[in-house]
Each structure stands twice: as structure tokens, then as C-alpha cells.
Structure 1
Amino acid sequence: MKTKDKTTTTDFKMPKMGESITEGTIINWLVAVGDEFEEGDVLVEVATDKVDNEIPAPFSGRVAEILCDTNEVVEVGTSIARLELAEVGNTDEIKKQLVISSPNTSAKANKGNKASGKSTTKKTEQKSSSSKNYSIPSNQNTFISPLVNQIARKEHISYEELARIKGTGKDGRLRKSDIYQYLEEGRPAQFAQPVAPIDEEAFRLPKIKLDKGTGEIVAMDRMRQMIADHMVYSKHTSPHVTAYVEADLTDLVNWRTANKQEFQEKHGERLTFTPLIIQAVAKAIQEFPMINVSVDGTNIIVKKEINIGMATALPSGNLIVPVVKNADQKSLLQIAKDVNQLSAKARENNLGGDDIKGSTFTISNVGTFGSLMGTPIINQPEAAILATGIIKKRAEVMERPEGDSIEIRQMMYLSLSFDHRIVDGYLGGSFLRRIADHLENFEQEQV
């Protein structure tokens, strides 16, 4: 007897794409509803921070429904699509193993309407428009009657949205009439965001109309928008102070010049200045652990791990910060391997989520661009960031036992921006000077 084909439908959820990653932004669907795919085919591209990830299909099948739109930010574990898996024979056992989430989110409601042929664009625009000035009530009554719960599920209203609806029943309970009245109004609280109370003493930017001129309009790409947000947030959060020292790197430059070829032939790794700087910074952090911190309200979190981020330019011109983990526990060779690997990934746009997570201190090598020095912006939630300038030959007065002399030396400016809430001038200046000392007196027996 011929077995009849059956179809199993399951949720396709936002996967966890790295340690400490809790959400991702959908940047591109490569399939549409009704498309068939094979196991391993890329279904969607998801961005986490500044890294783009391709999410493959877990099995072969067909796209039944897409639940989340492009540019939507989705938490890990949230259903973003529903996929059909064609199976032969009894699928009861398979269904038991599949976790089907309840359709009570606004994203599912919108997608469900699209699938049934209903036009939601106009209604969504009306809701979004009316949501902007919507005063969100705080429904403290958490009791939801079975009838209200049934209506909410049918209309795809989440519990979060229910809490925004004003109840007219006893003790503020929601009634059936409250839900239907809310639906008649076009669900004004569906996309509304809570408005924080106005602090009369808080500083607010003055509303000044500036003539920004005319010219070609170039829209920021997604990464540039994220960088802009992070930089503005950092300047508004941390009172920045920048300290400067200069270091005589003549011995270090001469040693690297004499040993870089041997280092590469022996270990198969390029020896740039970056591993040497990271090594010096890791040593200085061990001596000044209060630099390796972040702020949580009125608490200071002193990090146990020393993870050094290194600002790196992408082919697009944007910057990203891959991280050398546990730099204090690694030899110069191990650090060089990490630096070379991370730099190669950045050039190829192939960095993963874990590659840019967990930084506790950041280095920005502005000397790469020919800059003499820089005033870097702190990479939140860190407490400080180091900028290293170009290594430049200069005439310096050298104190010798036989007397002073003028010599050609390899000099570099170091600048440290630090958060003055938790790092004072003494700590910041001492830490910066110690980095310079380690660079000037580095260990030469490391080939």
C-alpha cells in the first residue's frame, strides 16, 4: 500500500550566533513564501552588532510563512519564519519534537494578514502614526479572563500590548468591550513606546536650526549608523579626559627590523607592531587593574579577564573592533597569531560574533593613517581607550654618562582617553606612562 505524504510545519527561530549575543537584525531574506529550499541553503542574513551572519536551512522543505520583516530587531529564540518539512508516513513523532510557539506577537499578526491576502500597509501606517503620541496606560491588574485571553489570541495581541489597554472593569480589569473598543481605534498602543518622565533639571540640547547646505545626499549604511549611535552615546555617558606621553621606540623598532623575517620563517606569522603594543598594554593592566573596569550604576565592575580590542578598518571604510582574548596569558607568538587571524577576517568581512565580543580595553592605531596622535572616544562600556600615533624619527636630546647628545630616535605619541567618573588623572597618567615604559624596555628574547 502506498504511504501518503504528510507535511510537518515548524518554527524557524533566531539562532544564538555567539557568546553573549541576545538579538539580531534581519537584513535580507533570500527566500519568499512558497519557495522551496534544500538543507544548508541560506535562508536569511542576520546582523549582530557589526557582523553579518548567513543562517542556513536546518532541513529541506518549503517556506510557509515569514514572521519578521527586514530591518526588524529580533531576540534569540524568537520565531522568524515557519517552514514546511515534507515527510513520508506518520509524522506524529516528529511533531512531538517540534516546539510551536503561540501566535501572539504583532509580527505574526502582520504576516498572517499578508498570507491571507489582506492588505495591512494602510492600517499599519495609521497605527504607527497614532502610536507616536499615544499615552501608554499602565494596567496594573494582571488578571486576564479566559474570554479576554481568547480574543487576544484571535487578534494576535501580545500580553505586553494588553497591559497598555485601559481596563474599565472592577479594579481596572480588562473587559471584552475594552478590547473591541481598542481594536476599533486601530490598536494605537501596538507600536507605542513608553515615554520617560521629564526631568526639569536634566540638560537638553538647544533647538538650533542650522544651515546644513546643499549637495549630494548619501545615506548612512547600517554599520555607519551604529557607529554614530555608539560614539554619541559614549560622549554623553562618559566625561572624557585625554592624557599624552611620548615613547622612545628606537630599540623596539631596531629589534623588530632585525627579527621579523626570522620570526615569520620560524613561526609562519607576520610580526607587526600591534602584538608588541598589546603585550605592553596587557602587562600595564595587570599592574593597574582599576583601568580594566566598567560602570554599572554606582558600582564598578573590575574585570577578571584582560581582553584587548583593536580598532580595525573594514574594506568599506567603517571601523570594527575584533578582540584578542586573555592577552595577559599569551606569549608574543600567540598574540601575533590572533592579530593576524582577526585582521585577515576583517579584510574579508568574515568576522564572527564572538570575534568582536568581550573587549575590556581597546587600542586604536591612528598612526596607521599617518596621524601624529589622536583623542579616541571610549568604546563603551569600557573605562579607557589607547591611541598610538605614527612612529617618527626625530632629533632628541639624550642624556649619557659622558654628557648630553643629540641623536635621531624613533618616537611615538601615546594618548589615553579615560572615563573621569571612575579613572582620575593620577591613575590614567600612571597607567599610560607604564605602557610607554614597557614599550621602551620590552623583552628582546621572544623570537
Structure 2
Amino acid sequence: MTVKEFKLPDVGEGVAEGELVSWLVAPGDRVEEDQPVAEVETDKALVEVPSSYDGTVEELFVEEGEMVPVGDVIISFRVDEDGDAGAAAADAGSDAESDSDSAAADEPEPEPDATADEGDAEPAEPDTPSGRTFAPPSARRLARELGVDVAAVEGSGPGGRVSEADVRAHAEGGAAESGGSSDGDAPTPRPAPTDTGSGERKSAVSKRGGDESADSAAAGGNAPEPAGRETTLATPATRKVARDRGVDIDDVPTDETRDGEAFVTAEAVNAYADALESPAEPTPEPADVDAGAGDDPAAASDAADAAAAASGDETVPYRGVRRTIGKQMERSKFTAPHVTHHDTAEVDSLVDARADLKPTAESEGVKLTYMPFVMKAIVAGLKEHPYLNSELREEDEAIVLKKDYNLGIAVATDAGLMVPVVDDVDEKGLFELADEVNDLAARARERKLKPAEMKGGTFTITNFGAIGGEYATPIINYPETAILGLGAIEERPVVREGADGASEVVPAPTLPLSLSIDHRVVDGAIAAQFANTVMEHLENPLLLLNE
């Protein structure tokens, strides 16, 4: 058996990092190749990360809610020789440890009491039930930092589970036993099983600069005593500060609590780290910490979090999909000069047509909404006015008139606005479009869309009328050149010719339309003509038979 480390793969084009939302496996679980092991939220979507190995989960290196750069180790597996060989073939382009592991796989499997390296004269690894040590990621991380073989620690938890307290007790006991020994008699701490073949790589949540912190603490006699907690509450920004400063968040002293658990702020982390680096100097006064926080965005952010918490406000991280939406909106609004054209379609005939088709759609298992009719009407408008189905490529000084009609449908979700794309709308019927839109919208709300399903759009529709409202000024889904907003279909007063030829005001179902355009590409007159074409097809649904 060998231990293989698995890094966070590139789960989407241009993605540099992701938030590990949830683990789908636990240490000791048996997994197969391609089985999802974690859910990761990137700036594009929530995706499942599949395993590259057949084997047993050995260790989880990342805690839920942490941001992980692509390429960092997130999990390790204990695999047999066959599984190792197959995975090595699949990961031919990985780091050098793949070569050493595959070479080890060609040799006879070492006995349980064999050392990690054949030439080392290190103590043998003690036997554990099923050859596995039960310990949470935090305990394993602490064992690595203290140079303790976690397999040698006697666990006090259920089923021999090793806690952080067990690791500390073992480390202190080992130090006491070796205190009177000469340097030559002291055994060299062997790496934990999960460090096999890892060289100098660290897991995504290991302490950065931990050795330097330890050295500085040993150098001064006034270093603060580490708190040594097992559980600490802190914001992601605070945890990032702790990682950057090489500080274990559980060691930072604090008097603050949240829900009965210790709560640490970025100021406390910085003060603790400063004391470790310069233990002879007095701890900065709160005013000094606040002054320094202005130079550290993460610390300043956490200070704001603490102030918000004190006032009862809630602070929500601005990252992932929400941050991507914000950046995309900002880019669009400040790149494309927006103009919004408003109009209203009288849709009596559309309402009747949908009512006539609903029973047939239901018999085929399709929920028929007004959206497929609108999509077909938009395609008719785009064919007559192709500049609304275009993209401005400034670097090439060219406008590309798209021949595909791929319509994005904006869907409101708990994570923000998702825009799945329905391809080739011109080639699909009403029922087929209805079924596809319903499926995409449902999976968007469940966060199960694939990144590829949100690409390639040429024009976007946003239906704010489903929530309530008539008109809006929708922001273009850049680099597209137009977006159509739909208000609610409701009865509103309209002026029509009565039986006696006189005009009269009567209630009728109407559909408000809000068309935003990139004025660099589309003129106002063209926008109005496009809107007229769309309204003509909505007011006379039989025209949609040609689309």
C-alpha cells in the first residue's frame, strides 16, 4: 500500500482558487476512481471534484469553508499497487513523487513494521487496528508540526481516535523521556504516513513559516503562552492572516467568545505573531494594532467584521459566484455605454395560445411557460436585426455578427444570478425549449450547472416580472450587445377601438419590455425596430410557427 496525495485540479477555465464547500467523504472511507469526494465553489459555479484513485481516504488537508489555490493538496488516499499503477498512468504529468511512488510499487510491499526509507534506522511504526490511525485533520496537522508520528499516539477518543490533546501529551512525554539522553541517542521523528513521498510540499492548511515562529518563540523568554484550543471561531479573512503570519489560529489568546466558543480577530492574530517575532518587546496597544490594520486589507476587513458583529450587523463574504457577478456587472457597465428602450406588448392572443397548448404540453410531461414564446420572438427579431446578436471586439476593431442563436436565461439563485445558455433556439420547438429551460433553471437553483452550460450565449433574457415589477434597466451580459428584460404579464388599461368605432379604455393582458443595448454597436432606432419585431410576434403568436 502507498499513500498518494491529490491536488485541487483546475475545475474551470481561468480558475485560480476555489472554496471547499463540503467534503463528501471522510477518513477511512473507500472510494473509487471518478467518485466525487468534495464540492468546490469557484468564481464560476459549484462543482464536484472526483477522485483520481481507487483506495481509502487517508487524510483531509482542508477544512470546509477554506479557500484553496488550484494545485494545493486537499486529500490523500491509501491505494494498493494496482490502483497506484493505474493512477500513476493517469497522472503522468504530476510532481516527482509520482515517480518515486511508482518505483516503490514495483518492489515488494514492506511489512507493517518497516521504516519509510529502507536505509533509515528509525523506530518501527506501531501496529494500529486495520493498519489505520483515526485522527481528525487538525490532530494530524498538529502532529506534523510537533514532529510526532500520529500512528504512535495512543488515542483517548472512541475507537482509539486521536485528539489534539493526545498529540500534545505524546509530544510532551517524548520530550521528557529524551531530556537526559545524548543527542546521538535521540531518535529522529519519522514523518506521518501521509507525508510519504511528499518531499517538502505542505498541505493546503499546514502552517506557513511555522519553523520560524517556533525558533523565535524559543529565542525569547517573554513569548506568549499558546492557548492550545481544539476549536476556534474566526472569519476566513482572519484565518488567512494567521496562515500568512505562520500562526496556528488555535494558539492565539483571546477573551472573546461566540456561541460559547473562542473567537479570534485579525488584530489578535497580528498581536500574537508580533509577540512571537519580537518577544522582548511589549505587545502593541490596541491603538497601535488598529493603526497597523489600515495597511493590511484582511486585518481591516476583520476589524470591520468585529465592529459589525458588535452592532448586530451580519457580514457576508464577498467571493465566489457573488464576486464574479459583481466584477462582470462592473466591467459591463463601465465598458459598454448602456441605453434602455422600454415598450409594452398587448398579449391577449399569446395568453390564449398558451392556454390552448398547456393541456398538450402537460400530457407530454412539459410545463409550458411564456418563456419559449418570448425566445422564439427574440430569434425572429435577431434575424431581422443581427447587430443585436453580435460582439464588439475592440482589439480587432471589428463587430462579429453571430450566426448562432444561443439565448442566456438569467436565473435567480441563493448564490446569485446564474445565466444558463440554451443553444440553437432557432432549431427547437416550443415544448423542447420549455423542457430545456425548466431543466436548466432547476439545476441552476440546485447549483448543479456545469461551467460549460453557462458559456457561448449571444443574447440574454432576464425575467424580473416573475418576482414583480414592470420596467427595469438590465445590465448587458458583456461581451454581448443586448439584453431583454421581461415585466409581469398582467391586465393593464389599454386604449382600443370599441364596437361603435370610438376609442375606449379596457383592461387587457400586457407584457412590459426593457431592452438594454450597447450604444457603441446598436443605435436607438435599431433597438426600437427590434422591439417592434419582437412585439409583433408576441401579439400574433401564429407568426412564431415560421421560427
Q: TM-score range by the shorter chain?
A: 0.5 to 0.7
Deviations 1:287-319 (A, max 9, x none): 2121112222233232232111111122x2732
Q: Give secondary structure in 1 for the equivalent of 2:313.
A: coil
1:195 — aligned with what? none
Change (3 A) 1:437 1:7: same
Q: Per-residue deviation at 1:42?
A: 3.6
Q: What is the 5 A alignment of 1:205-244?
A: 216-220=313-317, 222=319, 223-244=321-342
Q: Give secondary structure in 2 for the equivalent of 1:443.
A: helix
Output the CA distance in 2 between the equivalents of 1:256 and 1:93: 55
Q: What is the 5 A alignment of 1:50-69?
A: 50-58=44-52, 59-63=54-58
Q: Per-residue deviation at 1:226?
A: 2.7
Output the CA distance in 2 between the equivalents of 1:45 and 1:89: 27
Output the CA distance in 2 between the equivalents of 1:374 and 1:364: 10
2:194 — aligned with what? none
**1:409 aligned residue (501, 508, 526):** 508
For the Cα contact (< 8 Å) 1:24–1:46, is it kept in 2?
A: no
Between 112-121 and 229-238, the greater mean CA deviation after superposition: 112-121
Name the aligned partner's letter for residue 304 of structure 1. K
Output the CA distance in 2 between the equivalents of 1:338 and 1:366: 20
Output the CA distance in 2 between the equivalents of 1:388 and 1:90: 54
Question: Which of the pair has the greater relative contact order for Cα pairs under 8 Å at 6+ separation?
Answer: 1
Between 392-401 and 241-250, the greater mean CA deviation after superposition: 392-401
1:119 — aligned with what? 210
2:288 — aligned with what? none
Q: Per-residue deviation at 1:25?
A: 3.6
Between 273-282 and 221-230, the greater mean CA deviation after superposition: 221-230
- The answer to whether residue 491 in structure 2 is matched with residue 393 in structure 1 is yes
Query: What is the percent sequence identity of the aligned residues?
Result: 29
Q: Give secondary structure in 1 for the equivalent of 2:380.
A: helix
Change (3 A) 1:308 1:85: same
Name the aligned partner's letter for residue 393 of structure 1. E
Q: Per-residue deviation at 1:66?
A: 5.3
Q: Per-residue deviation at 1:385?
A: 0.7
Change (3 A) 1:439 1:42: same
2:376 — aligned with what? 279
Change (3 A) 1:92 1:49: closer
For the Cα contact (< 8 Å) 1:398–1:405, is it kept in 2?
A: yes
For the Cα contact (< 8 Å) 2:72–2:203, is it kept in 1?
A: no
Q: Per-residue deviation at 1:283?
A: 1.7
Q: Per-residue deviation at 1:32?
A: 10
**2:2 aligned residue (4, 7, 20):** 7
Q: Give secondary structure in 1 for the equivalent of 2:542.
A: coil
Name the aligned partner's letter for residue 310 of structure 1. I
Q: Per-residue deviation at 1:353?
A: 2.1
Change (3 A) 1:343 1:401: same
* C-alpha RMSD over aligned residues: 3.9
- The answer to whether residue 66 in structure 2 is matched with residue 70 in structure 1 is yes
- The answer to whether residue 19 in structure 2 is matched with residue 27 in structure 1 is yes
Change (3 A) 1:347 1:102: closer
Q: Per-residue deviation at 1:95?
A: 4.4
TM-score (norm 1): 0.66
1:101 — aligned with what? 94
**2:540 aligned residue (428, 431, 441):** 441
Name the aligned partner's letter for residue 71 of structure 1. M
Task: Specify which structure has the higher proportion of helix.
Answer: 2
1:151 — aligned with what? none
1:294 — aligned with what? 391
Task: Specify which structure has the higher proportion of strand.
Answer: 1
Deviations 1:29-66 (A, max 9, x none): 63899866522554332224442112122321445795
Q: Per-residue deviation at 1:397?
A: 2.1
